[in-house]
Amino acid sequence: MPKISNQEYLLTEQYQDESNLNARIQLHDRFSTNKYGWHRWVFNQLSLSPESHILELGCGTGLLWLENLNRVPRDWGITLSDLSPGMLQEAQRSLRDSQRHFDFGVIDAQAIPFEDDIFDAVIANHVLYHVPDRTKAFSEIRRVLRPGGRFYASTVGRAHLRELYELVHRFDPRADLWGTQVSESFLLENGLDQLSEWFSRITLHRYEDALVITEAKPLVAYVLSSAAKSALVGKEPEFIEFVERELALHDAIYVTKDSGLFEALREA
CA angle in degrees (0–180, nearest 5) for 104-121-145: 100
What would the pLDDT profile of 141-173 be if each residue is shown by its tens digit?
A: 999 999 999 999 999 999 999 999 999 999 999
First-last CA distance in the chain: 35
Residues of the chain with pLDDT under 70: 1, 179-183
For 3-158+182-209+258-265, CATH gives: 3.40.50.150
Q: Which long-range contacts (CB under 8 A, 24 or more apart) does 176-181 make?
A: 176/227, 176/228, 176/231, 177/223, 177/226, 177/227, 177/228, 178/2, 178/3, 178/4, 178/226, 178/227, 179/2, 179/3, 179/4, 179/227, 179/228, 179/230, 180/2, 180/3, 180/4
Question: What residue type is 48 in one-letter code?
Answer: L
Q: Report the pLDDT value the prediction gives residue 182, as an integer from 0 to 100.
A: 59
The model's pTM: 0.95
Reduced to 3 states, what is the DSSP secondary structure of residue 118? coil
What would the pLDDT profile of 107-143 be if each residue is shown by its tens digit?
A: 999 999 999 999 999 999 999 999 999 999 999 999 9
Q: Where are the alpha helices (DSSP H) in the chain?
A: 7-9, 19-31, 38-44, 63-66, 85-95, 134-144, 162-171, 191-195, 216-224, 229-232, 236-250
Neighbouring C-beta atoms of residue 153, cutoff 10 Å: 28
Domain layout of the chain by residue ranges:
3-158+182-209+258-265
